[in-house]
C-alpha cells in the first residue's frame, strides 16, 4: 500500500477525532469518504498500525521537511521564537498491571512452563498459544529490567515514597504520573516544540520521565542539531524552571521566557545579585520583571497550549493505543504531522492544484 494513502487515512481520521487504527479501519467499511481515499485498495487495521509504529523517524523528518518547504515558498518565516510544552498522555496499561518483583518473576515462570495443549487443538491454536507465552515472557523480562529505575524514582520522590517498586506487565516502559485532573495513572510525557508565529509543530519527543525540567536542554540541542535553528527566544512554563539549563541557554544567546518563582528569587535592587556574580540566569530574572518580557511570555499559551489541546481534543489522542516508548513516540509524531497538515490546509499555505507536495515518497 502506498505510504501516501496510509498517511492520508491517518490524517483524515485524526481530523475526525480518530486516533486508533481499528477505529479508522471500521470507517473503511461504512464511510464513503474513506472509500474514496482508498480507491479500491484494501487496507486493514494491522497495516495502518504497522505503518504508524514503524514510521517514527519518517514523521520526525517530515516535520522538518514541511518547515523547509513552507519557508521556501514564503508562507512562513524562519522561526525565531519557539515555545515548548509537555502533556501527559494516558498509556495503554491499567493501574492493576503494575506488580512487584515477586509477582513478575512468578508470571515469567508460569509463561516459561510448557503446558499440554487441549486435545484436538489446531495447528493455528497451538501457534497462537506459543506466541502468547513468548510475549508474556518478553514483557515480564522488560518489567523486571525496569524495576531498578522505578526504585530510583521512588527514592527521588518528595517525601520519600514507601513500598517496593512496581512495573507494568502490560507496558513495562509506562510510568504512573500525575495527570492534569490531579489523579495518578500510567502515562507518557509527550514534549512538543512549536513556532510562536506560525504555530507549526517543529519537534516532538516522548519520555517516561514525569518531570518537564529535564526535557528542556535535550529539545534545544535536538532543534539546533537536526533543524539547524538557533532561536532568539525560548518560551516555557514554570514546570521547566532549571537554573542550570537557563544559564546554559542564556550563555548561548537564547533568551529564556519563563514565569518567575517566589519573590525571594527575584533580582535584588541596587544591582545586587543572588548567588554567583555574573550568573546568566540573572538576565532571565531581570527580563521577566519588565512589561516587554511579560508580553512575550504571554504568547506561549496560544502556541504550546493550543497545540496540546488540538492534538488531544480535536485529533482524539487522549489515550495511546500502542505500547512501548518508541511506538508511543511514533503516535505522538504522527499527531504533530497531522496537526501541521491541517493547519496548512486551514491557512491556505499551499496551492491544492500543485498537488500534495508534502506527501512525496
The C-alpha torsion from 193 through 196 and 197 to 202, rounded to 10°, is 0
The pLDDT of residue 357 is 44
Same domain flag for 319 and 198: yes
Domain hosting residue 189, numbered range: 55-92+179-359
Give the count of alpha carbons within 13 A of 53, CB side only: 17
What are the 10-residue block averages of pLDDT along the chain, 361 residues in total? 93 92 94 92 94 94 92 91 95 91 88 66 83 87 88 72 83 90 92 95 93 92 90 94 91 93 56 58 90 95 93 92 94 95 86 50 38
The pLDDT of residue 131 is 87
Same domain flag for 207 and 260: yes
Same domain flag for 224 and 327: yes
Indicate the SS3 state at residue 266: coil
The pLDDT of residue 47 is 95
Same domain flag for 62 and 104: no
Same domain flag for 163 and 255: no
The pTM of this model reads 0.88
- Split into its structural domains, the chain has a count of 2
Q: How many residues does the chain have?
A: 361
Same domain flag for 203 and 142: no
Same domain flag for 101 and 80: no
Of 169, 189, 215, which residue sits at a domain end?
169
- 19 within a domain of the structure (yes/no): no
- 263 within a domain of the structure (yes/no): yes
Q: Cell 509527550 belongs to which residue?
A: 190
Q: Is 98 left (phi over 0), alpha (psi -120 to 50) or beta?
A: beta
Q: What is the CATH number of the domain that holds 204?
A: 3.30.420.10
Amino acid at each position: 500500500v502506498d505510504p501516501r494513502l496510509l498517511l492520508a487515512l491517518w490524517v483524515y481520521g485524526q481530523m475526525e477525532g480518530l486516533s486508533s487504527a481499528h477505529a479508522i479501519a471500521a470507517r473503511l467499511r461504512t464511510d464513503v469518504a474513506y472509500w474514496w481515499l482508498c480507491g479500491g485498495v484494501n487496507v486493514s487495521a494491522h497495516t495502518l498500525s504497522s505503518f504508524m509504529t514503524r514510521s517514527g523517524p519518517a514523521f520526525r523528518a517530515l516535520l522538518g521537511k514541511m518547515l523547509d518547504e513552507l519557508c521556501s515558498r514564503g508562507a512562513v518565516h524562519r522561526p525565531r521564537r519557539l515555545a515548548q510544552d509537555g502533556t501527559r498522555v494516558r498509556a495503554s496499561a491499567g493501574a492493576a498491571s503494575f506488580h512487584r518483583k515477586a509477582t513478575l518473576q512468578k508470571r515469567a515462570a508460569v509463561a516459561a512452563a510448557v503446558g499440554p495443549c487441549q486435545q484436538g487443538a489446531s495447528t493455528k491454536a497451538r501457534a497462537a498459544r506459543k506466541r502468547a507465552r513468548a510475549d508474556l515472557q518478553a514483557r515480564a523480562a522488560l518489567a523486571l529490567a525496569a524495576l531498578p529505575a522505578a526504585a530510583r524514582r521512588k527514592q527521588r520522590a518528595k517525601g520519600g515514597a514507601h513500598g517496593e517498586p512496581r512495573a507494568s506487565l502490560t507496558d513495562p516502559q509506562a510510568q504512573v504520573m500525575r495527570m492534569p485532573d490531579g489523579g495518578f495513572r500510567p502515562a507518557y510525557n509527550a514534549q512538543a516544540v512549536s513556532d510562536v508565529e506560525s504555530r507549526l509543530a517543529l519537534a516532538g519527543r516522548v519520555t517516561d520521565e514525569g518531570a518537564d525540567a529535564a526535557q528542556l536542554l535535550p529539545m534545544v540541542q535536538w532543534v539546533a542539531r537536526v533543524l539547524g535553528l538557533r532561536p532568539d527566544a525560548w518560551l516555557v512554563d514554570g514546570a521547566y524552571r532549571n537554573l542550570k539549563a537557563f544559564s546554559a541557554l542564556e550563555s548561548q544567546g537564547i533568551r529564556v521566557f519563563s514565569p518567575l518563582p517566589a519573590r525571594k528569587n527575584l533580582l535584588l535592587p541596587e544591582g545586587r545579585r543572588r548567588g554567583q556574580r555574573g550568573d546568566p540566569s540573572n538576565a532571565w530574572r531581570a527580563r521577566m520583571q519588565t512589561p516587554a518580557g511579560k508580553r512575550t511570555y504571554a504568547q506561549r499559551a496560544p502556541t504550546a497550549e493550543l497545540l496540546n489541546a488540538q492534538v488531544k481534543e480535536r485529533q482524539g489522542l487522549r489515550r495511546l493505543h500502542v505500547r512501548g516508548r518508541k511506538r508511543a513516540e511514533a503516535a505522538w509524531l504522527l499527531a504533530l504531522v497531522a496537526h501541521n497538515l491541517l493547519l496548512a490546509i486551514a491557512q491556505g499555505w499551499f496551492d491544492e492544484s500543485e498537488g500534495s507536495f508534502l506527501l512525496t515518497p
